[in-house]
Amino acid sequence: MPADVTLPGLGRVHHRAYLVESIEDTAARLVEQFGAGPFFVLENVPLENVTSRGEPAEFSHNSAFGHLGGEPIELMEIDRLSPARVAERFSGPRPGLHHVAWAVPPSSVGQVREALEAHGAPCYLQGSLDDIDLSFHDSSVSLGHDVEIHADVETLQGFFAMFREAAENWDGSDPIRSAVS
C-alpha cells in the first residue's frame, strides 16, 4: 500500500474472535488443551442501535472473553442475525476465526471506518454497548476474516482489564464465569 493511503491509528490488535457452536464446550477444550482462561460469559450481549448500512439490523449472540497465550480472545455463539448480508458474514465454519479487533481513539473511529471502506473493507454491521461504539468490516478478500473497530473508551478498557487480571495468576479453578456479577 502506498505511504499516502495507510489506515490511521490501528495500533496493536485488541483481540481475536472465534465463531463457536457452544461457548461452554469450546472454552472447556481451550482450557484443557492450551491452558486458556478463565472465560467470562456475557449472555444476550445487550447491543443497542444495531444497523447494517443504515438499516435496522439484528445481532443476537452470546460471547465469552478470556486469555489464550497472554492475549485476549472472544468466543461468539450466534443466535439471530439480520439482514441476510449480516448473516452471511457470520456463516463461516465453527470453530473458526471470525474477526480481529482494534480499539482506536474515539476521535479517529470515523476516519478509520472511512479508510477501511475506501480500501475495500466495507462496514456491514454497527452498534453500541454502553459508550462502546463498534463496527464490523468485511476484510475477507484481503485477510480471510473480518475486522472489528471499537472506540477505545474507559468502559472497554475496564471490561478487558477484568479478563487480563483474572488470567494473570489463574490457578485453573472456575474456568467459566459470568461476566455480570
> pLDDT for 42-59, tens place per residue?
999 999 999 999 999 999
Distance CA 64, CA 44 (A): 11
The yes-or-no verdict on residue 104 having pLDDT over 90 is yes
What pLDDT is attached to residue 3? 38
The yes-or-no verdict on residue 114 having pLDDT over 50 is yes
What pLDDT is attached to residue 8? 57
What pLDDT is attached to residue 9? 62
The neighbouring-strand residues paired with 99 are 17, 146
% of the chain residues with pLDDT over 70: 94
Average pLDDT over residues 23-38: 96
Cα dist. 99→128, 138, 143 in Å? 17, 9, 9
Q: Top-level CATH class of 11-170? A: alpha beta
The yes-or-no verdict on residue 2 having pLDDT over 90 is no
What pLDDT is attached to residue 181? 60
Assigned C-alpha cell, 72: 485476549
Torsion of CA 121, 122, 125, 128, to 10 degrees: 80
Q: Contact, 150 vs 133, CB < 8 A?
A: yes
All residues at 6 or more sequence positions from 157 whose CB lies less than 8 Å from its CB, including other chains? 103
